[in-house]
Amino acid sequence: MANDENAQITAIRLRAQKERALISELNAQLGVELSKTLELASSLLDDVEEFFLDAEILQEPGSGLALARLLRHSEKTLQRAEQVREHIKAIVTRFGPNAKIIEG
C-alpha cells in the first residue's frame, strides 16, 4: 500500500470516528422513533469500519484498482451516514426530538 493510500485510509477512519461521536451526541437527544431511524447511520459506519476498512480485507492481494474501489465505496458510505445524521438533525430542528415519521 502506498503512503497516499495509507493517508486516505487514516483520514476516512478519523472521519468515521468523528461521525460516530456526532451520531451518539444526536441520539442522546432523540425520542424512540427518530433514534431508530438514526440507526441507519450507525449501520453505515459499521460497514465502513468493519467491511471496507477491515485490516484483513485491506491486506488481501489485489490490484491498486481494487483498493481504489474499496476506498471510494468507503467514502460514499461515510457520506451517506453523514447525510442521514444531517437529515435527522434537520427534523429535530424543525419538529423536535420526539417527531414521528409518517410513512405513506
Per-residue pLDDT of the chain (104 residues; tens, 9 = 90+): 678 888 999 999 999 999 999 999 999 999 999 999 999 999 999 999 998 888 888 887 777 888 889 999 999 999 999 999 999 999 999 999 999 888 76
CA–CA gap between residue 99 and residue 97 (Å, rounded): 6
Residue type, 71: L
Is residue 21 assigned to a domain?
Answer: yes
Is residue 100 situated within a structural domain? no
In which domain, by residue range, is 37 found? 3-95
Record the cell numbers describing residue 64, joined without a space. Answer: 491498486
Residue 87 lies in a domain: yes
Q: Is residue 104 part of a domain?
A: no
Give the number of domains in the chain: 1
Q: What are phi and psi of 7, to 5 degrees?
A: -65, -40
Query: Are 83 and 22 spatial neighbours (Cβ–Cβ below 8 Å)?
Result: no
Task: Tell me the pTM.
Answer: 0.89
Compute CA 72 distance to the chain's CA centroid, rounded to the nearest angstrom.
13
Q: Is 103 domain-assigned?
A: no
